[in-house]
Amino acid sequence: MPFAFSKQHIEEYHRLGYTVFRGILPASLVADLRRSTDRAREVAREARGGQVQRLQPVGVYEQLDQQPFRDYSQLPALAEAVHQTLGDGYRHSNLDVLGILLEPADAPWCTPWHRDWRDNMAGLGLHRW
């Protein structure tokens, strides 16, 4: 089913701190991004070892096929959905800051539970959290 933006996306974002734009990315783009991020995992591990958990910014790694990331950053439907949800001044992607989160290869690792979103939303009733 093709993506259709609705007020529900805005309501979910304000209530939950996120929304899902289900179906917005073409399957071919998802496949291209997966291939590029698989290569990114190799590049990151070659440079920093098996426990590396991030490759950032994507735009400086010449070893990666940058086209899928450019296609993602320029996808009109996604740009419009982000604009409608967040308003002016927000972009969903910029290759100068875009990062890829990676699973560690050698041993499990996790970030302790935290609340980035909640503490940065003016007017949010903290009693709900």
Q: Average pLDDT for consecutive 10-residue bins of the chain (129 residues)?
A: 94 93 98 98 97 96 97 95 93 91 92 70 65
Q: Are 43 and 61 in contact (CB under 8 A)?
A: yes
The two three-digit tokens of residue 124, written as one number? 């949010």
What does the pLDDT read at residue 87?
Answer: 92
Number of neighbours of residue 79 by Cβ within 10 angstroms: 15
The amino acid present at 7, given as its one-letter code, is K
The tally of CA atoms less than 13 A away on the side-chain side of residue 16 is 10
